A and B are shown apart, each in its own frame.
Chain A
């Protein structure tokens, strides 16, 4: 600093002086009433955030406290039981959920990413039918999950597809439920790829398909993965639509994809246990919630970490 000479030093002093004068004017210029009001407002905002986080934290803690006596590996390996809740577990339910989720992945990833690519890269936004598709996807994302259950009951279990109450029908219902989430996330990821990449690829003679496959999709993968994981975790915790498409049956064996002797899923089993009258089943339900929350919150955390970590700033 000194090497710059007295002139620079004078500028620095002047700037500092001006700043302190301004600050003093702002702070002392506020009437006491405004200062107090500001403080109260700030405390209220903190309280709002605090209560929200506390409420949700209490939920997690309560499940752990209520279910702690049953939290052991037996919970994951024992089969369901109506007679002895002490030795019952979630093995069949967890197996059912894994099968359901596998089906959801197989169905939603190609269709969801395909729709997103079409809407972002191919669709002519000035055409009314493309705008209808867009609006439709946005609305579908907010249709209540139980309505998807009705759709599954009327269209997949009975009606046109007539699959019966099988696990695959549950998988299809859940897929339709989370498909809009995947489409919206994938679209956002694709939209975040700057046009210059696209134009550069076209300028080098690449076709539209080559541009999508070699430039856009690789760049959009973290965003798409985030959307897919969030969708899967939503499907894994969803109960209401499954109640309508047959997962409500009480099974004590590992379900199969197309078997018609009933299936179940982890959240449905938790719901059934919570509804029982004996308190032992409530402990079992709480322990199940701990397992479910652990898996789902881990998946969500990973998804959001992935998004924030690989969020590219072009």
Chain B
């Protein structure tokens, strides 16, 4: 009874000092709205960036395609935009990009997935705790350092190991490709390990319960279950390999040859952009526009790869989280 009286008294007191306080804040809290607006503005900046990328690529590219037909550009086999007369067949540099990426992936896929299976299925927690961060740290090695390593260490070493190949200049597509592989191994290893670690323990235990060996469990259960995550890591690594500039600029060279040779010097799309745009080239010349046309093609190629990778990761998350 006493308690009730106390509540009654306090209510009376509250009523006495004016109407009961509403649950909403007295002011409109405009600050909250302002901050939300500012934060949204920050987020919208990323959209602005993309729009700016697309515009900065499209506008000069349109000027480029006014002077060069799309067919000549996409299917021409001679690339000499700074020569007179200039030739704009993009195939040699597209093929060179594919060639270096191919060698990179040939090395990085088995190494990266092997390392990932080891870390996720075999390594003791202590080893994993040391090796995984090491891989993540090494993923941050600047690519100009990898390019230097390819040119002055890998190239002479490979010539010693494979003297029967036809080594000519200091630059070779294959060496650059292998160096690109070195760059993307940590990406594939780290992301694939994440995917395999996310596979529920129950799937593994079911495998062991049926008498499967450790290798069977790793290759027939964990690997397929994590496949979309693993493929996503490979697709992302491919996108990185295609867009890599410094390694190929140093180690693959600047001669736009239409070749599949391991030891030949080639010029990739990124190397062309890096080579040509270094220094002050005059705006409005066809050479200036060529940079943007090649950049647009590069952007579209990586965009498709990125979207595939994002889609695959999403599907993987839906399956297990």
> A-side interface residues toward B, CB under 8 Å?
26, 29-30, 34, 37-38, 41-42, 44-49, 51-53, 55-56, 58-59, 62-63, 66, 110-112, 114-115, 117-119, 122-123, 132-133, 135-140, 142-151, 153-155, 158-159, 165, 176, 179-180, 183, 207-209, 230, 233-234, 236-240, 243-244, 248, 267, 270-271, 274-275, 282, 285-286, 289, 292-293, 296-297, 300-301, 304-305, 308
Contact = CB atoms under 8 A, between A and B. Distances in A.
Interface in B214-273: 214-216, 218-219, 236, 239-240, 242-246, 249-250, 270, 273
B36 interface: yes
Contact of B57 (A142, A150, A304, A305): A150
Contacts of A44: 114
Interface residues of B, number: 96
Contact of B40 (A49, A122, A150): A122
21 contacts: A45-B118, A49-B111, A49-B119, A52-B115, A52-B185, A63-B149, A140-B46, A140-B50, A144-B242, A144-B270, A150-B277, A151-B49, A154-B292, A155-B55, A179-B49, A207-B29, A230-B140, A248-B278, A274-B250, A275-B250, A308-B133
Nearest to A180: B46
Given A34-B213, A300-B137, A52 B145 contact: no
B230 to A, nearest CB: 14
Contact of B153 (A51, A62, A153): A62
A58 to B, nearest CB: 7
B149 A38 contact: no
Contacts of A37: 213, 215
B303 to A, nearest CB: 7
Contact of A237 (B119, B135, B136, B144): B144
- The B interface is mostly helix, strand or loop, or mixed, namely helix
B56 to A, nearest CB: 4
Contacts of B118: 42, 45-46, 48-49
A155 B295 CA distance: 14
Contacts of A143: 53, 243, 299, 302-303, 306
Contacts of B53: 143, 147-148, 150-151
Interface in B1-59: 25, 29, 31-32, 35-36, 38-47, 49-50, 52-53, 55-57, 59
Given A237-B145, A275-B250, 11 more contacts: A42-B118, A118-B42, A122-B40, A144-B302, A180-B46, A243-B274, A270-B144, A271-B249, A274-B147, A296-B141, A300-B140
Interface string B278-321: 11100100000001100100110011011101100000000000
Interface of B: 25, 29, 31-32, 35-36, 38-47, 49-50, 52-53, 55-57, 59-60, 110-115, 117-119, 122, 131, 133-138, 140-149, 151-153, 182, 185-186, 189, 211, 213-216, 218-219, 236, 239-240, 242-246, 249-250, 270, 273-274, 277-280, 283, 291-292, 295, 298-299, 302-303, 305-307, 309-310
Given A38-B214, A244-B277, A135 B32 contact: no
- Report, nearest first, the 6 A-B pairs whose CB atoms are least far apart: A144-B243, A48-B114, A237-B142, A114-B42, A154-B56, A240-B245
Contacts of A308: 133
A63 B150 CA distance: 11
B50 A136 contact: yes
B149 A150 contact: no
B140 A150 contact: no
